[in-house]
Structure 1
Amino acid sequence: MLIQLDLENAEPIYIQLQQQIIEGIAKKQLNPGESLPSVRSMAADIGINLHTVNKAYQHLKQDGYILIHRQKGVVINPDGVPKADGAYKEKLKANLRPFIADSVCRDLSEEEFIKYCSSIFAEFYNEEGDS
């Protein structure tokens, strides 16, 4: 999996890295039990501070995407990502609210918004099928 970060983007680098790893898991480019580079190795490979990588890894660990073992290193959760529960769904709703509010302010209809969501879902399912 190729990590591509935009250092000019307003989005913090650790969030970009976290999102790219999550996309890699969703697209089946990263599989359960597969190893990720160590914090130091990842930082050196993509040319960013090791604390930035560590922060991304800690967030991924907290959300159940990865496990960090002293002996095995960093691995994609062998049991898979935890399924959506009530807490996840509440967090999802909270995260979507600003996007929906912004869309309403910009006169984007619910149908258009859903169309964009559907097209993004399709990207993941199509790429998964192509792997």
Structure 2
Amino acid sequence: MIIRINKMSEDPIYIQIREQIIAAIAQGVLRPGDSLPSVRSLANDLGVNLHTVNKAYAVLRDEGYLIMRGRSGAFVAEPLQESCAKASIAQEQLREKLRILVQEHKALGGSAQTFLSEAETQVAQVYGDPGIAGAKRNVSVLGLDEKGEMLKQERSSSGSLSGVSRLSDKFHSQEG
């Protein structure tokens, strides 16, 4: 795992470290049980204060990505189980972060369609699902044709709208 620090970035260094470790876990570069470099070693390698690395590790521990084993160091934690109380907290944090992202996107003039399209693209990249990658698939999932025109909303056999259609409708009603 290679961590790169951009000292010109507006993001604090500990956040940059945090995000890159999370990305390594998501990509499978780091797996549950893998040990991370010691705080002192990583700080020395990156040329940053050891308190900066310590803060990144502490945040990752508090968020459930790492476990600390005394003098043994930091290790990648096992994924949260759905029945676990921490998983419920993680789900709520996800909702809050998504809500903030949606609000920021809308405040900058973005549409629900562009947000959903970009979100789907990012999910495909992180989860590696080629079945949902590609522009034609993205626009049809969002209820748009290749020109960006709304398709007729499809209803399931029970007569209810699909989850994406309901989500799209919800954003449209909030935009107006």
TM over 0.5: yes
Aligned to 1:117: 119
Q: Deviations over 1:46-81 (max 9, x none)?
A: 11110000000001111111111124221111xx12
User: Using the alignment, how far apart are the partners of 1:88 and 1:98 within structure 2?
Assistant: 15
Aligned to 2:99: 97
Gaps of 5+ in 1: none
User: Using the alignment, how far apart are the partners of 1:53 and 1:71 within structure 2?
Assistant: 16
Greater Cα shift, 14-23 or 89-98: 89-98
Aligned to 1:82: 80
Deviation at 1:89, TM superposition (A): 2.1
> 5 Å matches for 1:1-131?
1-77=1-77, 80-83=78-81, 85-126=87-128
Gaps of 5+ in 2: 130-176
User: Using the alignment, how far apart are the partners of 2:126 and 2:105 within structure 1?
Assistant: 23
User: Using the alignment, how far apart are the partners of 2:31 and 2:94 within structure 1?
Assistant: 24
Residue-pair matches, total:
125
Higher relative contact order (CA 8 A, sep 6+): 1
Sequence identity, in percent? 37
Closer, same or farther: CA 83–118 of 1 in aligned 2, 3 Å: farther
Q: Deviations over 1:85-124 (max 9, x none)?
A: 3322222222222321121122211111011111111111
Q: TM-score, normalised by structure 1?
A: 0.87
User: Using the alignment, how far apart are the partners of 1:20 and 1:75 within structure 2?
Assistant: 15
Please identify the structure whose Cα radius of gyration is greater: 2
User: Using the alignment, how far apart are the partners of 1:4 and 1:82 within structure 2?
Assistant: 27
Corresponding letter in the other structure for 1:97: R
